[in-house]
Chain A
Amino acid sequence: MINKPTPVIDADSRQYWEGAKSKKLMMQYNKNSNEYFLYSSSLGGIKHNENIEWKEVSGRGEIYSFTLVHAPAGEAFKDDIPYIVALITLEEGARIISNIIIEEGEKISIGDRVTVHFEKYSEELTIPKFKLVK
């Protein structure tokens, strides 16, 4: 069996993955502009010394777009097909990309409300995923 890819955790993602281990969804927050973001900012440039801090966010949001994957991203995901990868717009405004876990018979659409669900892979890695709000 081929292991799933694990993130190469770096300065801009450490708090996200660390937070997930204790079931907290963490985002970067720019105090100057009152805007949240994950990793990269397309908000018109963030300076290195700008007023940035990591904050826990609600974990609630809505589906911006999604795809139901039938041709997996390599052997490691073969047993999971079909699975959903989605772009989610959080209530706080940041967009993130993750999986949506659905129960049998559930269907999803753009605009559906979702909430975070932490999936523990190992002592080192917990992945924030999402489920539909019922």
Chain B
Amino acid sequence: MQRTANPSTAVRFRPGPPIKDFNIMSKFPCIVGASDFPLQDRGKAKEGNTELTIQRYCAQKALEQAGLNFSDVNGIAVAGMWGVPGPGIMQPNVLTEYLGIKNPRWLEGTNIGGSTFLLHVNHACQAIEAGICDTVLILYGSMQKSKMLRSLGNRLAIYSNQFEVVAGLPLPVGAYAMAAQRHMHTFGSTKETLAEIAVATRAWATMNSNAAFQDPLTMEEAMSSRIITSPLHRSDCCLVTDGGGALVLTSHEKSKNLKTNPIYIRGYGETNSHSSINYMPNLERLEIAEFSSSNAYKMSKLSPKNMDLTMIYDSFTITVLLTLEAIGACGPGEGKDFVKDGNIAPGGSFPLNTNGGGLSYCHPGMYGIFTIIEATQQLWGLCGERQLDDPQNAICHGTGGVLSSASTLILSKEKN
């Protein structure tokens, strides 16, 4: 077959070498508050709540943990999918008004999908480093389950997405399915590989009293669950729930007078490569996560082997497999062996998604903030039955869109 261009180079990811000279951490930005939202009835907020009451609840909890008040907040970051068209387009304005934040000096409302809140933390670190603000509230809330807002269709056939919408690709799951198909073809992973991830994640969820699904899941149940779009089954897909969360960030100096032990952000990274799955460089490798995490490791002067906990945004089981291989938990193509034999389950050697993840705990649409909340609470030692044995360092990694955007955080109990 004649070719004029090599298909493997038809779409390329070229972010350049990792960023140099990361020695900008002088104020040691840290997390001093982290709260999620209580759910009931398979992931619903109690009746009477709104996206705003959810965020107020979480913000208040997170501030109280630190011994702070709304009046201390001088930076705010928020994103979500509610209230559009309408005020939801400008969420920082809505939340500043609703919470009565009087003098915000730093605002952030970027939305790059589910990885957004990790990116908000990155940017909050930069703002704290620059001395622009010293108490940042990062917020998220969603009522997507109660309001029945999710559908695999109803996307507009516009811009670069017009071709896939016309073709009837269910979104976002169809895009992830094509990545899974490609990964299986290239590296020999199987539907058992993906089921192992779903089963291990559920095993963690059995120890989270706030999780939507707390009954154990067997390999047989996972593999015989309904096929959604090949090769992904129901058990490979995240839940649809309500939910929300809040984080409070400050500087090392300011944290000295607060009630919680600061959890330091030792490194971070972010990048993206595409909007439509047609433009993802190589579907079998999450190159954006390789880049984002390598920057985070470099900045932190820590390596994958220093991580006591790994929190990966598990929109789908394939997202976990691709991310494990990209952030150096194992090499490309090695994930299928890495996840075997309970390695990532409770009691295994590699604690992963200990809250039960988006697959079994909650998935309100943009899950990224929960990776940070769980990592912080594990480092604080507050996770009860599922608490790990004195973890020191954790990595959080979020993926947004259709494997489109990446953001990584490395958290630690030690400031350097």
Q: Are B1 and A76 in contact (CB under 8 A)?
A: no
CB neighbours (8 Å) of A80 from chain B are 168
Contact of A87 among B14, B153, B154, B278 (CB under 8 A): B278
Instruction: Assess whether A85 is in contact with B167, with CB atoms less than 8 Å apart.
Output: yes
Inter-chain CA distance A66–B275, complex, in Å, is 18
Q: From known contacts A72-B153, A99-B168, infer whether A8 and B2 are also in contact, taking CB-CB under 8 Å.
A: no
Within 8 A of A (CB), among B255-304: 273-279, 281, 283
Q: Which of B105-113, B119-127, B172-180, B385-393 contacts A (4 or more CB under 8 A)?
A: B172-180
Which of the 9-residue segments B157-165, B201-209, B305-313, B346-354 touches chain A?
B157-165
A7, A43, A94, A113: residue with the most chain B Cβ atoms closer than 10 Å: A7
Are B181 and A65 interface neighbours, CB within 8 A? yes
Residues on A with beta carbons closer than 8 Å to the beta carbon of B277: 87, 97
- Among the stretches B5-13, B49-57, B242-250, B366-374, the one at the interface with A is B5-13
Picked from A70, A95, A109, the residue with its CB within 8 Å of the CB of B278 is A95
Q: Bound state CA distance, A68 and B279, in angstroms?
A: 20
Docked CA distance A40–B232 (Å): 28
Tally of contacts, chain A with chain B, CB under 8 A? 174
Could you tell me the distance between the alpha carbons of A62 and B185 in the complex, rounded to whole angstroms?
A: 14
Interface residue B4 (Cβ < 8 Å from any Cβ of A): yes
Chain A nearest CB from B5 CB (Å) reads 3
In the complex, which of the residues B12, B151, B283 contacts A65, with contact meaning CB atoms closer than 8 Å? Answer: B283
Q: Which residue from B5, B155, B230, B231 sits with its C-beta under 8 Å from A5?
A: B155
* Residues in chain A near residue B278, CB distance under 8 A: 38, 40, 87, 95-97
Q: How far is the CA of A1 from the CA of B171 in the complex (A)?
A: 21
Contacts of A10 in B (CB 8 A): 158-159
A5 adjacent to B4 (CB under 8 Å): no
CB of B19 closer than 8 Å to a CB of A: no
- Least CB distance, A107 to chain B, in whole angstroms: 12
Chain A residues within an 8 Å CB radius of B4? 34, 36, 91-93
> B3 at the A/B interface (Cβ < 8 Å)?
yes
- A69 near B229 with CB under 8 A, answer yes
Cα distance A111–B87 in the bound complex, in angstroms: 47
How far, in Å, is B78 (CB) from chain A's closest CB? 29
Interface residues of A in 82-132 (CB under 8 A from B): 83, 85-87, 89, 91-99, 109-111, 113, 127
Query: Contact partner of A95 among B7, B153, B155, B159, CB < 8 A?
Result: B7
Q: Is B149 an interface residue (CB 8 A)?
A: no
> Is there contact, CB below 8 Å, between B152 and A72?
yes
Q: Is B156 an interface residue (CB 8 A)?
A: yes
Please give, as numbers and ranges, the residues of chain B lying within 8 Å of A44 by CB-CB distance: 12, 14
Query: Is B413's CB within 8 Å of the partner chain A?
Result: no
Partner of B169, one of A8, A36, A97: A97
B276-A67 in contact (CB<8A):
no
Minimum C-beta distance from B321 to chain A (A): 15
Q: Which residues of B contact A76 (CB under 8 A)?
A: 153, 168
Residues of A within 8 A of B94 (CB): none
Query: In chain A, what residue has the closest Cβ to B282?
Result: A64
Q: Does B166 contact A (CB under 8 A)?
A: yes
Cβ-defined contact, B281 with A69, below 8 A: no
What are 23 residue pairs bridging A and B, where the CB atoms are less than 8 Å apart in the complex? A6-B157, A39-B159, A40-B275, A43-B12, A64-B7, A64-B283, A65-B185, A67-B169, A67-B177, A67-B230, A70-B230, A71-B228, A72-B170, A73-B171, A74-B153, A89-B7, A91-B4, A92-B4, A93-B4, A95-B7, A95-B278, A98-B163, A110-B182
Q: Which residues of B contact A (CB under 8 A)?
A: 1-7, 9-14, 151-160, 162-171, 173-174, 177-179, 181-182, 185, 226-232, 273-279, 281, 283
Report A's interface with B, CB cutoff 8 A.
Answer: 4-10, 13, 34-40, 42-44, 60, 62, 64-77, 80, 83, 85-87, 89, 91-99, 109-111, 113, 127
Q: A93-B9, A110-B185 are in contact. List 13 more A-B contacts (CB 8 A).
A: A7-B162, A13-B163, A38-B278, A39-B162, A40-B276, A42-B274, A42-B281, A62-B1, A62-B7, A67-B178, A80-B168, A85-B167, A93-B6
